[in-house]
Structure 1
Amino acid sequence: MGKKITQNISLTLLDIHELDEKEIELVNKAKNAMNSAYAPYSNFMVGAAILLENDEILTANNQENASFPVGICAERLLLGYAHANFPKLKPLKIAIIAKKKGSDKYATVSPCGLCRQTINEYEVKFETDIQILMYTPNDQILKAANISKLLPFKFNDLNS
């Protein structure tokens, strides 16, 4: 009989006022970045902001392309930019926010599979957890302590 392998996955749901000042700033900067997203095909605008260990916050948004595989998610664009420009600084937290163009209501969104694996790569590279803050329509935040909460049984988990 086979052995059952399990992982405990949990997120924390917080009201926006329960975040610390830097986290609120991170969410607000992700919101601002979302407003500049280039999403003419899906009309689904995503913004992301990352907090680096030197307290600097960088932002990005999704960039679509008529050749659909060429577009890039806000999170991957942001992580690539952060590492290209600040290769020695650890990313500590990333905030993600999204909504349909023309809508007043935000969408609950989490990183896609490609973005989850990319976040994992940076956790492995820097040997540190990256907290993930996901904005919800009710002005609440779903907070994941690290990528393992969103991506159980990652490639590196299976090979260790």
Structure 2
Amino acid sequence: MAKRISKEVSLTQYQVNELDQETITLIEAAKKAALNAYSPYSNFQVGAALLLDNGETILGNNQENACYPAGLCAERVAFFSAKSRLPDAQILKVAIVAKPKGQEQFKMATPCGSCRQVMSEYENNQEQSIKVYLTATDGSILESDSIDNFLPFKFSNKDLFS
């Protein structure tokens, strides 16, 4: 007999003035990172900013390449940079922003599947949730209390050895 399996996913929507200063600063850092993206092919600038448990902020932006698969998304640039520089630091929050080059307004852009898997791996390994903040097209901010909300039936290292 078939059995339905489901998992609830939820995000919380805030206006910027409802967020704490630490989170606002993180989102602003992601916006500055996006402006430095190397995106000559898509003209879509993405920035990511991580807040670590030691108070440090790590930035990333998308880095494109004429050989398209050789580029790297902002989220992975930031996550890989954080762990290569500070392998013992815990990632507390990530802010992700995106906008078309030449436009002022940031738009909603959720992480791609590869980024979701990478971020999930780091969250799983540190055994502590990572909060995710996305800018919505209307200027509001969406908050997730875990990367699990973006990849609810994820594959992890626990699946390799069970």
Instruction: Give the TM-score, by structure 2 length.
Output: 0.95
Say whether residues 1:82 and 2:71 are aligned partners: no
Superimposed CA distance per residue, residues 56-108 of structure 1 (whole angstroms, 9 cap, x where no aligned partner): 11111000000000000000010000000000000010000000001122110
1:147 paired with 2:147, answer yes
CA distance in 2 between counterparts of 1:125 and 1:151 reads 15
- Structure 1 equivalent of residue 126 of structure 2: 126
> Secondary structure at the residue paired with 2:9?
coil
Supply the AA of the counterpart residue of 2:80. G
How much has 1:2 moved relative to structure 2? 1.6
For the 8 Å contact 2:13–2:143, the answer to whether it is kept is: yes
The equivalent of 1:117 in structure 2 is 117
Other structure's SS at 2:156 match? helix
Equivalent AA in structure 2 for residue 112 of structure 1? C
In the TM superposition, residue 114 of structure 1 has moved relative to its aligned partner by 0.5
Q: Secondary structure at the match of 2:29?
A: helix
Instruction: Please report how far the alpha carbon of residue 158 of structure 1 lies from its aligned counterpart in structure 2 after TM superposition.
Output: 8.9
**Deviation at residue 10 of structure 1 after TM alignment:** 0.6
**Structure 1 partner of 2:107:** 107
State the alpha-carbon separation in 2 of the partners of residues 139 and 17 from structure 1.
11
Other structure's SS at 2:72 match: coil
Consecutive unaligned residues of structure 2, counting only runs of 5 or more, are none
Q: How does 1:1-160 map to 2 (within 5 A)?
A: 1-156=1-156, 159=159
Q: Check 1:157–1:146 CA distance in 2 against 1; reply closer, same or farther (3 A cut).
A: farther
* Alpha carbons 2:121, 2:156 under 8 Å: kept: no
Any runs of at least 4 consecutive aligned residues in structure 1 with deviations exceeding 3 A, and if so which?
156-160
Distance of 2:46 and 2:113 partners within structure 1: 15
In 1, distance between residues paired with 2:143 and 2:119? 15
Separation in structure 1 between the aligned mates of residue 121 and residue 61 of structure 2, nearest angstrom = 20
Letter in 1 for 2:39: A
- TM-score by length of structure 1 reads 0.96
Cα-Cα RMSD: 1.4
Matched residue count = 160
Distance 1:94 1:73, change over 3 A: same
Alpha-carbon distance between aligned partners in 1 of 2:71 and 2:45, rounded to the nearest angstrom: 13
Structure 1 residue runs of 5 or longer lacking an equivalent are: none
Q: Tell me the distance in 2 between the aligned counterparts of 1:12 and 1:37.
A: 28
- Provide the identity percentage: 44
